[in-house]
Amino acid sequence: MSNQRWLSCSESSKILGISQATIWTLKNNDSLVAGVHWLYVTGKRNSNVLFNVDEIREWQKNETQRHQQEHIDAAKKIASYQEVGV
């Protein structure tokens, strides 16, 4: 855990290539997991929040792969008449 980078929303936004608003939306809609992707600095609700850019980057990668696989799976469901010989 000591090798992970916990940064402010502003710093995380620049590194991850997404807006601060998007980071907060991902946090607030529970796409990002407390204690894994973000944390309260003091452990209490009213404190500042830091984001783990390494874990969020991994989440971005996994989400990209999941969405790409959904696209591939949908394409496989399309009927093909190539074997009919028409």
Helix 53-76 / helix 9-16 crossing angle, nearest 10 deg: 40
Angle between helices 20-28 and 9-16 (to 10 degrees): 110
pLDDT at residue 82 in the model: 65
Residue 85 included in any domain:
no
In a domain, 86, yes or no: no
Per-residue pLDDT band for 78 (boundaries 50, 70, 90) equals: confident
Give the 3-state secondary structure of residue 7: strand
Q: Is 41 among the domain residues?
A: yes
pLDDT band of 2, cuts 50, 70, 90:
low
Instruction: Using alpha carbons, list the distances in angstroms from residue 5 to 34, 37, 60.
Output: 15, 10, 16
Position 84 in a domain: no
**What CATH number corresponds to the domain at position 35?**
1.10.1660
Interval 3-57: pLDDT, tens: 789 999 999 999 999 999 999 999 999 999 999 999 999 999 999 999 999 999 9
pTM of the predicted model over 0.85 = no
How many structural domains compose the chain?
A: 1
